[in-house]
Amino acid sequence: MPNHLPIVILVRPQMGENIGAVARAMSNFGIKSLRLVAPRDGWPNPKAAEMAAGAEAQIENAEIFPDLASASADLQWLYATTARTRHMEKQVLVPKAAMEQLHGQVSGGGKVGLVFGPERSGLDNEDINRCDTFITIPTAPENTSLNLAQSAVILGYEWWQQQAKPAPIIRDISEIAPREEWDGMFSQLEGYLDASDYFRAAEKKPIMWQNVRNMLHRSGMTAQELRTFRGMLRSLWDKNPLKH
């Protein structure tokens, strides 16, 4: 993966032409890596290649994944493009502010993904809950819908504008735990909470669990800190009388 660049992730894209148009926008603004999650019409797609003028490398090197979890396992931050905030406790930024923040993260050694949902429906709640920050693109209220390629062009342009600026000074982020390690911890914690009947009302579990995940992930723990936290959870569980 190229250093100091975001990775574009298209989740369940529906049309090859749109994939190609996104790849072309990536090439226009110097973004190299494209990941596709379960493209509807399979891959490779000749219509994508036809639309990707000048972006042959992005198309040829695109990586395919079955779901967002596997596509983002090695990444540390995910930015989701969405017109709706879904009433989640997430950071919400416009494109310029988002790319300023992202610029600092990747310049500090972080691995960051820009996540786009399917053309018709956008990202579902399960996928969007995996993301840290929402990017909303202000539009005229009478028509708030942007197509996939339009969104990619706007974010690509704002990313490119950041390249002439020095990266902000931020904490050393190269050791922040990747997604796969967070997923392991969340799986462990959810199992303990289920076994101890923490989610007493089944219908309330989804929003409660979503809030727990968001709260913990905002801590930005390093891989070592996450391992320490998991050890603490394991120690508490081993002494839990409900286990025996």
Domain boundaries, the chain: 7-162, 179-243
C-alpha closest to that of 81 among 119, 48, 44: 119
pLDDT digits (tens, 9 = 90+) for 45-93: 999 999 999 999 999 999 999 999 999 999 999 999 987 655 667 889 9
Give this prediction's pTM: 0.84
Residue 123 DSSP label: -
Superfamily classification of domain 7-162: SPOUT methyltransferase, trefoil knot domain (3.40.1280.10)
Strand, coil or helix: what is 242?
A: helix
DSSP state of 202: G
The residue type found at 143 is N
Q: How far apart are CA 96 and CA 161, in angstroms?
A: 9
Q: What is the pLDDT of residue 66?
A: 98
- Tokens standing for 100? 């300023």
Of 182, 238, 237, 172, the closest CA to residue 215 belongs to 182
C-beta separation of 175 from 224 below 8 A: yes
Residue 119 has what pLDDT? 85
Which segments in the chain show pLDDT lower than 70? 1-3, 84-88, 167-174, 242-244
CA distance 103 to 112: 10
